Amino acid sequence: MEQNKKKVSKGLLQSDDLYQYILETSVYPREPELLKELREATASHPENTSLVFFRAGMATAPDAGQLMTMLLKLVDAKKTIEVGVFTGYSLLLTALTTPEDGKIVAIDVDREPYDQIGFPIIKKAGVEHKIDLIESEAVPVLDKLLEQHENEGSFDFAFVDADKVNYWNYHERLMKLLKVGGIAVYDNTLWGGTVVMPVESTPEWKKPSRQSIMELNKLLAADTRVQISHAALGDGITVCRRLY
């Protein structure tokens, strides 16, 4: 028991320099050109500067993206779901990785960042035909997919990166939509490290999602339907593989 309480730190999170090292050594040199372009366009979009600069942090971290690319290939993903598009970094990554006849159901309450920043680059990549972008709250869209029985157990992969308060609602639906052996990846599951901060030192705007993420992490750990890996990439991602 005592041993469990000992501090063990051998992960990325011990130093920013180590994180930079990984990005510069292993991630950036292999990031596809158009993804790089989209990442940079997201970070430096001239319009709406204050808003976008604040929101630019929302884009999927490239190291997490690199693992996602690997997972998409490992399950040979053809049919996928994306909850939370923003400017489309993870969406483009998925579209570049899936086959010509791949299909991505992509959902966001606000399609403007995608239309403004992501779409021109996605078009240039020639992969827009794989994407069905739906501007809506995600829960009703997933419910509608489930109304059609042929969708049950038909998706290979899902990436969830939207409102944290609904992650569990997404998970419950994805457990029906994904194939057995299919993968769901949840983003921001370390929520800026706030999961281990006292609530008083958590910035006000991060508090509600901190609570949701902490609950999600416990629920996923106890969920026998999935195998999980909580990986310290980006802002934390949790990979779930449907077992039955």
Interacting residues with ligand SAH (CB under 6 A): 58-60, 83-87, 89-90, 107-110, 137-138, 161-163, 166
The residue (of 19 and 159) whose beta carbon lies closer to ligand SAH is 159
The residue (of 41 and 190) whose beta carbon lies closer to Ca ion is 190
Supply the minimum distance, in Å, between the C-beta of residue 41 and ligand SAH. 11
Give the angle 211-237-177 at the CA atoms, nearest 5°.
90
Q: At 106, phi and psi to the nearest 5?
A: -115, 130
Give the angle 165-168-172 at the CA atoms, nearest 5°.
150
Judged by beta carbon distances under 5 to 8 A according to partner kind, the member of ligand SAH, Ca ion, none in contact with residue 202 is none
| Strands 226-231, 155-160: pairing kind | unpaired
Supply the minimum distance, in Å, between the C-beta of residue 58 and Ca ion. 5
The residue (of 82 and 161) whose beta carbon lies closer to Ca ion is 161
Judged by beta carbon distances under 5 to 8 A according to partner kind, the member of ligand SAH, Ca ion, none in contact with residue 108 is ligand SAH
Pull the structure tokens for residue 206: 């991060």
Supply the minimum distance, in Å, between the C-beta of residue 45 and ligand SAH. 12
Judged by beta carbon distances under 5 to 8 A according to partner kind, the member of ligand SAH, Ca ion, none in contact with residue 137 is ligand SAH
Specify whether the CB–CB gap between 165 and 212 falls below 8 A: yes
The residue (of 43 and 221) whose beta carbon lies closer to ligand SAH is 43
Pull the structure tokens for residue 211: 């609570």
CA proximity to 78, closest of 93, 64, 60, 98: 98
Judged by beta carbon distances under 5 to 8 A according to partner kind, the member of Ca ion, ligand SAH, none in contact with residue 215 is none
The residue (of 97 and 189) whose beta carbon lies closer to Ca ion is 189
Supply the minimum distance, in Å, between the C-beta of residue 166 and ligand SAH. 6
Judged by beta carbon distances under 5 to 8 A according to partner kind, the member of Ca ion, ligand SAH, none in contact with residue 86 is ligand SAH
Sheet holding 226-231, edge to edge: 131-135, 103-108, 79-83, 155-160, 178-187, 237-242, 226-231
> In angstroms, what CA-CA distances link 224 with 153, 211, 229?
17, 22, 13
Judged by beta carbon distances under 5 to 8 A according to partner kind, the member of Ca ion, ligand SAH, none in contact with residue 188 is Ca ion
Number of residues written out for the chain: 244
Supply the minimum distance, in Å, between the C-beta of residue 74 and ligand SAH. 20
